Amino acid sequence: MVAPFSVADAAMDASASFQKVLSSTLSVTPKLNPSSCFASKKSEASVRFTLPREARLRRSFQYELVRQSRVIAHGPLLSLALMEQPNSPTQCGIIVSRRVGGATVRNHLKRRLRDLYRHERPTLASGLWLVLNTKPAAATASLANLHSEWARLKNRLETKGYRLTRVCPEVNQF
């Protein structure tokens, strides 16, 4: 009588024979462990540039204080609000309302603005709380347009007498 044969057994036999063929042709035994395939991705993720927690505004009272400071520059894509906090690091918050678009559009825009702020952060003076408020036109704007809008709003606030740029910037990646 023939023993019952399952698909799982066939897959195991095929995997074992595949490993034998590879190990005989290559002098190294390959690792076919699925979890090892993702190990390199985790190490790559730790190399990614992230925005540290202390560089972000996280509490609603912080957003409210910046709004009450009434130091705002408006543009067609963004509004930049500013408040000086002398004994704190520079922090930025981003507001994207539902008027801008659906959740996917809003999240994509927030990621682009966080990346913009992450690149600009080394050039900013310390002790600033910034809030970027987006307008619906920002959803379709390119990253270059968002960057030029950021620079225009920053210059507008500097002409009002607020110092946003460091005297000697350490690194400017843009």
Most confident of 37-46, 115-124, 140-149: 140-149
Q: What six digits make up the tokens of 5?
A: 């044969």
Query: 52 and 121 in contact (C-beta within 8 Å)?
Result: no
Q: Is the dihedral of CA 137, 142, 143, 147 positive or negative?
A: negative
- The string of DSSP codes covering 15-54 is HHHHHHHHHHHSSS-----HHHHTHHHHHHHHHS----GG
Q: What mean pLDDT comes out for the span 122-151?
A: 94
Lowest mean pLDDT among 50-54, 63-67, 81-85: 50-54
Q: What is the pLDDT at residue 39?
A: 45
Greatest alpha-carbon span in the chain: 93
Q: Is the dihedral of CA 126, 117, 107, 40 positive or negative?
A: negative
CA distance 140 to 143: 10
Q: What is the pLDDT at residue 142?
A: 94
Q: How confident is the model at residue 38 (pLDDT cuts 50, 70, 90)?
A: very low
Q: How confident is the model at residue 87 (pLDDT cuts 50, 70, 90)?
A: confident
Q: How confident is the model at residue 108 (pLDDT cuts 50, 70, 90)?
A: very high
Q: What six digits make up the tokens of 80?
A: 């930049």
Whether 80 shows a pLDDT value over 60: the answer reads yes
Tell me what the pLDDT averaged over the chain comes to: 78
Whether 36 shows a pLDDT value over 50: the answer reads no
Specify the DSSP class assigned to residue 53: G
pTM listed for this prediction: 0.67
CA distance 72 to 131: 9
Lowest mean pLDDT among 34-38, 95-99, 143-147: 34-38
Q: What is the pLDDT at residue 173?
A: 53
Q: What is the pLDDT at residue 40?
A: 46
